[in-house]
Amino acid sequence: MADDKLTYAEELRRLASGYAARLRDLPESVVRRRPAPGKWSVAEVIGHLIDSASNNHQRFIRGRWQDALVFPGYAQDDWVAAQRYQQADWKTLIELWRSFNLHLADVMERTPAADRKKQYIQHNFDQVAFRSMTADAPATLDWFMEDYVEHFKHHLKQIDALLTS
């Protein structure tokens, strides 16, 4: 690989494939169980990660040609509720989630290093990123792509906790 920094793309690929295999055959009673009222089930967490993949896919592509890394946010809970992930076919959700993230790993790797590493002064990562970044810090697509993988891992830990509770 031409750029060692892209280990986050490899990690995304490994995690999406490994977790999909682990989650695919979970019983419905496990994937639909909410830990508390208003909290997401495993199916809803996977749905949220599909929404995150969808939103970030557009951000990663558009960011290559924009003058600023400013992207719209989205109301996570509303998206999860509107798409009724709690009732969606589990195997279809898992396959969509796995496939979308494998595609994002490819997008990350295929984005030229010059585009990924270009620094932007104007961004809204302080509003749309998972990790903390101040509005006045320079930003790159590379940082944002890695941030996506950190968000992904955060929710895998959430799923692990749901499966052990």
The pairs formed by 129-138 with CB atoms below 8 angstroms and a separation of 24 or more are: 130/154
Is pTM, for the whole model, over 0.75?
A: yes
In Å, what is the CA distance from 84 to each residue of 66, 89, 90?
A: 33, 10, 12
CA-wise closest residue to 146 among 106, 108, 110? 108
* pLDDT at residue 3 greater than cutoff 60: no
Structure confidence at residue 69 (pLDDT): 98
Structure confidence at residue 1 (pLDDT): 40
In Å, what is the CA distance from 159 to each residue of 8, 17, 109, 141?
A: 20, 15, 27, 27
Structure confidence at residue 5 (pLDDT): 56
End-to-end Cα, the chain, rounded Å: 40
Alpha-carbon torsion angle 15, 18, 19, 22, nearest 10: -170
Structure confidence at residue 2 (pLDDT): 47
pLDDT tens digits, residue range 71-126? 999 999 999 999 999 999 999 999 999 999 999 999 999 999 999 999 999 999 99
Cβ count near 40 (within 10 Å): 22
Domain regions of the chain by residue span: 4-164
In Å, what is the CA distance from 157 to each residue of 42, 87, 99, 123?
A: 11, 22, 20, 28
CATH class for the region spanning 4-164? mainly alpha
Helices 7-23 and 141-164, packing angle to 10 deg: 20
Structure confidence at residue 16 (pLDDT): 98
Structure confidence at residue 165 (pLDDT): 83
**Contacts of 4 by beta carbon, 8 Å cutoff, 6+ apart:** none
pLDDT tens digits, residue range 5-28? 569 999 999 999 999 999 999 999
* pLDDT at residue 151 greater than cutoff 70: yes
Alpha-carbon torsion angle 94, 156, 35, 72, nearest 10: -80
Calculate the average pLDDT of the chain. Answer: 95
